[in-house]
A and B are shown apart, each in its own frame.
Chain A
């Protein structure tokens, strides 16, 4: 399933601080976890990725229950889409050739494994900008 241009634009608002979303994951026994995330992108029209800045509980949940929901928080009031699908963490060190629902981890990480270099967080207001964008990998949804 491909994301429409309207959906992609809503997820990748440039300027005015960029888009922010919530990612909901869930433990295998049903306890949800809903966390705000800022660094969001779309990959090859079918995948949504978010910089993994050491999201501990999210990681634990995805390791035991690899599904997530992404909802747009700002600045797209009224466009209350929820994107739900298989979700995982991609990071360096996965087996060579590792794929997740048709996406090669190496290809994703080659492009988005260093978010600070690809898209420096210059538009994030200084008072909430991370002192350094320390990234472990990406959270990756089909």
Chain B
């Protein structure tokens, strides 16, 4: 998960508190600790989502680039903006691979079970170098 987010960034879904969505695309990220993801935004991107984040900090992250399909995860959590950095605390992780395990919640599994799940479902552990 960290490899894909850091290598190819994410599509970041935000919304007003009434549910009007805005998505931005950021091509890299930095993962800190177990569940903090930081994105460096352009000024234009800050402008695009600042109001949404201030009234509704809920965000959804889909891995960018090939990770859209190769890294079949969705991350949900709370976000805040500090300067031009978007800081996301991931609270939920879902499998998005089409089929019987679509929408399976992964963050509620023991960590070793998540590792086992990944290793038995797909081979990629990060974007191509």
Tell whether A77 is near chain B: CB-to-CB under 8 Å: yes
Tell whether B61 is near chain A: CB-to-CB under 8 Å: yes
B62 → chain A closest CB, angstroms: 4
Q: Which B residues between 14 and 45 are near A, CB-CB below 8 angstroms? A: 14-25, 27
B-chain residues with CB within 8 Å of residue A30 when the two chains form the complex: 15-19, 56, 58
B102, A33: Cβ atoms closer than 8 Å = no
Count of interface residues, chain B, beta-carbon cutoff 8 Å: 41
B11, A24: Cβ atoms closer than 8 Å = yes
Contact with B along A36-69 (1 / 0, CB 8 A): 1010000000000000011111000000010111
A-chain residues with CB within 8 Å of residue B67 when the two chains form the complex: 36, 73
Task: Give which listed residue, A22, A32, A57, contacts B15 with CB less than 8 A.
Answer: A32
Task: Give which listed residue, B13, B64, B66, B70, contacts A33 with CB less than 8 A.
Answer: B13
B-chain residues with CB within 8 Å of residue A67 when the two chains form the complex: 19-21
Task: Give which listed residue, A22, A53, A69, A128, contacts B22 with CB less than 8 A.
Answer: A69
A-chain residues with CB within 8 Å of residue B114 when the two chains form the complex: none
Interface band, chain A: 35 or more
Task: Give which listed residue, B23, B70, B98, contacts A34 with CB less than 8 A.
Answer: B23
A36, B13: Cβ atoms closer than 8 Å = no
Contact with B along A86-106 (1 / 0, CB 8 A): 000000000000000000000
Tell whether A139 is near chain B: CB-to-CB under 8 Å: no
B21, A68: Cβ atoms closer than 8 Å = yes
B-chain residues with CB within 8 Å of residue A28 when the two chains form the complex: 18-19
B126 → chain A closest CB, angstroms: 15
A26, B74: Cβ atoms closer than 8 Å = no
Tell whether A80 is near chain B: CB-to-CB under 8 Å: yes
A73 to B59, CA, bound (A): 18
A55 to B72, CA, bound (A): 13
A24, B16: Cβ atoms closer than 8 Å = no
Sampled A-B contacts (11; CB under 8 Å): A20-B68, A22-B13, A24-B60, A24-B62, A30-B56, A33-B13, A67-B20, A68-B21, A73-B66, A84-B22, A128-B69
In the complex, the 5 A-B pairs of residues with the closest C-beta atoms, listed nearest first: A73-B68, A32-B13, A34-B13, A36-B68, A24-B13
